[in-house]
Amino acid sequence: MTDSLKHRATVRAYSDRPVEDALLDDLFQAAFQASNTGNMQLYSVVVTRSPEGRKALAPAHFNQPQVMSAPVVLTFCADLNRYTQWCRQRQANPGFDNVQSLVYAGIDTIIAAQTFCVAAESKGLGICYLGTTTYNVDRIIDCLGLPPLVVPLTTVTLGWPLNPPVESERLPLEAIVHEERYRPYSEADIDRLHEAKEHLPANRRYVEINHKDNLAQVFTDLRYTKKDNEHFSKVFIDTLRRQGFLK
């Protein structure tokens, strides 16, 4: 298992082979056995299979092609609605309409999503996380009919790989692991830890075609700009207020 995890890769192109219901249910059973806060399981998953449903979701994910090519699109949501209803129906006074509750529900949601993905890849399926979920969270809520106290946090496309997946580069362990206390990075550390990544032919080409001086500028000037980050932050905060987590 460790070796397969070390060499896993994201899949963005899928064959037209369907994912059977029994297999999907088996993967959910595995995912939902994952650790979670208080055994409350404060998450829900919306399964989108139909072409119409995927077409409706696609604009919220900037029309990434895997939304339409994948046979299954899964939207993992932090869900305090179900637990709140259960409490009220048992004459218990719920207090889950706040940021702290959303944080631990969010952590549990991502743990469940990642456990699902590991289980799926162990069966030969391919997955791709869509980071766009929290960008257009308001549009996804409307598209999926999510009630108050439910917030989508990540989306996973799922299917059988069309081609063998290709691994992406990763930073060395030294860049990420800190012993006992956080170790500040010197300028020399930053240069050394990113050197291999920056000199990969694919990344050098990426810089060239985008007419930038280096890889960092591609990310700050084009991919994840300050303007976009601030805009989508406002959308997310406004949506949290709309969904009942902020007063």
The CATH number of residue 56's host domain is 3.40.109.10
What are the tens digits of pLDDT across the range 95-131? 999 999 999 999 999 999 999 999 999 999 999 999 9
The answer to whether the CB of 126 falls within 8 A of the CB of 159 is yes
CB atoms near residue 115 (< 10 Å): 18
How many domains would you assign to the chain?
1
The pTM assigned to this predicted structure is: 0.96
The answer to the question of residue 246 being in a domain is: no
In a domain, 188, yes or no: no
Residue 233 lies in a domain: no
> Which structural domain, as residue segments, surrounds residue 109?
2-166
pLDDT at 8: 93
Q: What is d(CA 232, CA 228) in angstroms, rounded to the nearest whole number?
A: 6
Question: Would you say residue 45 lies in a domain?
Answer: yes
What span, in angstroms and rounded, lies between the C-alpha atoms of 114 and 137?
A: 20
Q: Is there a domain that residue 176 lies in?
A: no
Q: In what order do the strands lie in the sheet with 126-130?
A: 43-48, 72-79, 150-159, 126-130
pLDDT averaged over every residue in the chain: 97
Percent of the chain with pLDDT over 70: 100
Tokens 């800190």 locate to 178
| In the predicted structure, residue 60 carries a pLDDT above the cut 80 | yes
Query: For residue 168, with 0-12 CB atoms within 10 Å meaning exposed, 13-18 middle and 19 or more buried, which class applies?
Result: exposed
Query: What local confidence, expressed as pLDDT, does residue 66 receive?
Result: 96
Query: Looking at the predicted structure, is the pLDDT value of residue 70 above 90?
Result: yes
In a domain, 53, yes or no: yes
Predicted confidence band of residue 1 (pLDDT cuts 50, 70, 90): confident
56 found inside a domain? yes
Examine residue 196 and state whether it is found in any structural domain, yes or no.
no
The three-state DSSP-derived secondary structure of 23-72 is HHHHHHHHHCCCCCHHHCCCEEEEEECCHHHHHHHHHHHCCCHHHHHCCE
For the stretch 144-196, pLDDT in tens is 999 999 999 999 999 999 999 899 999 999 999 999 999 999 999 999 999 99
How far apart are alpha carbons 137 and 152 in whole angstroms?
Answer: 6
